[in-house]
Structure 1
Amino acid sequence: MDTTSTADVAPARIASGGARPHPIAQAPDAATRRLVLAGVVAGPLFVVVGLVQALTREGFDLSRHPLSLLSLGDRGWVQIANFVIAGLLMFAFAAGVRRSLGDGPGRVWAPVLFGLYGAGLVLGGAFTADPALGFPLGTPDGYPTEWTFHGGVHAFAAPLAFLALVAVTFVIARRLRWEGRRTAAAWSIVLGLACLVLCVPFGPATSIRLFVGVALGFAWITAYAVSLLRR
């Protein structure tokens, strides 16, 4: 028996045989739902754990220090685990998206970009940033004059994650327009542009903007994951 509801079909396309509805998403089975649920959990977990550390770690000032510096020092393992777990959850979500989407735009590139975002998070945790701006306490103020190998990999991981996140908002926006969900598509583009502006690593209040950009991007991922589960 066909379980696809009328809410889950795209507008009819005119073909040689006449108008025929195209499915926009597959009804998720239990395994797929668990994978998609990873996308619901990843953002709140990462943001809450990061914010708690930012408010409690001695010498850390979010107005000066980027969140990645929390991976350093005696309790640095907490933020390292936070990065890696969030990245692994994004890998699971990418697989869930691939299994959830039917025909149409974004079926290939959306999972790839979500996976790249996860890869950036895992690399950002596995390869820590170099000490900077006086954190951890006792290290020199200012930025390091030379990067270590792990610091260089970390510096590559951050833009990889941010650019993948911004790109996937546009891929999903195209998908949503194809599904006839134009308002949701517009919001996806607006949030993608906001993340792009906020995550530019120059200008005033850089570390706060980066944190807000990451939180906003994860909020979008959570919202999209919930929308997939509701199908």
Structure 2
Amino acid sequence: MSVSSRSGARTAATGRRAERRLLVCAALAPPLFILAFLVEGATRGAGYDPLRHPVSALALGEYGWTQRANFVLCGLLLLAGIAGLRTALRRRGAGAWAPLLLAMAAVGLVGAGIFAADPLSGYPLGTAPVPSPATATGTWHSLFSTPVFTALPAACCVLARHFATAGRRGWAAYSLATAAVALTCFVLASVAFDQNATLVPYGGLFQRLTIAVSLLWITAVSVDLLRRRDHQRGS
């Protein structure tokens, strides 16, 4: 083997290892983020109700830095992972739209951590259900949060088309179901946070379902790409 061939082989091997590490980042970021806000919500006390209050409200108060850090770290880890997803998906002809949409959601998580939300649904204690007018920081938080709840379902739909074209009907159905559940729960959470008397006690639950089903879909796709990648290498 020539020197150039050996160099090319080493470069390819390094690229494969880097891609695998990035895919692992994409797989781990969602469950770590979800676990962190579930633990924080269960232990916050001081009037915080995970069924009623949004995840973003955990960024308020004395220990709010923990959720702000959770937003930023998950977003950065997911951004790194999307680089691996982009390479793996492009190799399978999936195009660039899904990674772009996922990157928008990841940037949204980072921004949501930098800009804290306004109080909502009576948390922190003593605040109005919907403070008005919104602060500049709260407005920026809402703007950054929007792609987390919209770009992720859009990415599900984009990859559902790819999966269907590739004959992977189960993955196509799972992706479409994820988008449908996420968008439905997002609408219900939005109505609840607008203080609808029937839904307001469950706004936090609906929002958590939206986040969980969307982000865990990223984990599932990343694990599948890792599994297929390792299987192809072993063949």
Q: Could you tell me the TM-score, scaled by structure 2's length?
A: 0.82
Q: Partner residue of 1:4?
A: none
- Which deviates further from its counterpart, 120-129 or 177-186? 177-186
- Residue aligning to 1:135: 123
Counterpart residue type for residue 213 of structure 1: T
Q: Report deviation, 1:104.
A: 6.0
**Could you tell me which of 185, 194, 199 is aligned with 1:198?**
185
For structure 2, list consecutive stretches of 5 or more residues without a partner in the other structure.
1-14, 193-198, 229-235
CA contact (8 A) 1:84 1:125 kept: yes
Paired amino acid for 2:134 = W
- Offset at residue 178 of structure 1 (A): 2.0
Measured in 2, the distance between the counterparts of 1:35 and 1:126 equals 24
Match of 2:217 among 205, 216, 220: 220
Aligned to 1:69: 57
CA contact (8 A) 1:121 1:161 kept: yes
Q: Work out whether 1:118 is the aligned partner of 2:106.
A: yes
Letter in 1 for 2:29: A
> Which residue number corresponds to residue 11 of structure 2?
none
* Higher normalized helix content (fraction of residues): 2
Counterparts of 2:129 and 2:54 in 1: how far apart (Å)? 13
Equivalent position of 2:3 in the other structure: none
Task: Name the count of aligned residue pairs.
Answer: 203
Structure 1 residue identity aligned to 2:213: L
SS of the equivalent of 1:65 reads coil
**CA–CA separation in structure 2 for the residues paired with 1:184 and 1:94:** 19
Instruction: State the Cα distance separating 1:75 from its structure 2 match.
Output: 0.6
Matches within 5 A, 1:73-88: 73-88=61-76
Which residue pairs with 2:24 in the alignment? 37
Q: Residue 47 of structure 1 aligns to which amino acid in structure 2?
A: I
- Residue type matched to 1:162 in 2? F
Aligned partners of 2:181 and 2:90: how far apart in 1? 29
- Helix, strand or coil for the counterpart of 1:64? coil
Residues in 2 aligned to 1:121 and 1:74: alpha-carbon distance in whole angstroms: 21
CA contact (8 A) 1:90 1:117 kept: no
Q: Which residue of 2 aligns with 1:16?
A: none
* Residue number among 170, 174, 185 corresponding to 1:183 in the alignment: 170
Structure 1 residue runs without a partner (length 5+): 1-27
- Cα displacement string for residues 29-52 of structure 1 (whole angstroms, at most 9, x for unaligned residues): 110011111111111111111011
Q: Pick from 97, 114, 136 the counterpart of residue 85 of structure 2.
A: 97
Equivalence for 1:157: 144
Q: Is this contact kept in 2: 1:105–1:178, CA < 8 A?
A: no
Residue correspondence of structure 1 range 1-16 to structure 2 within 5 A: none
Q: CA deviation at 1:132?
A: 2.7
2:40 aligns to what?
A: 53
Out of 198, 205, 228, the residue aligned to residue 208 of structure 1 is 205
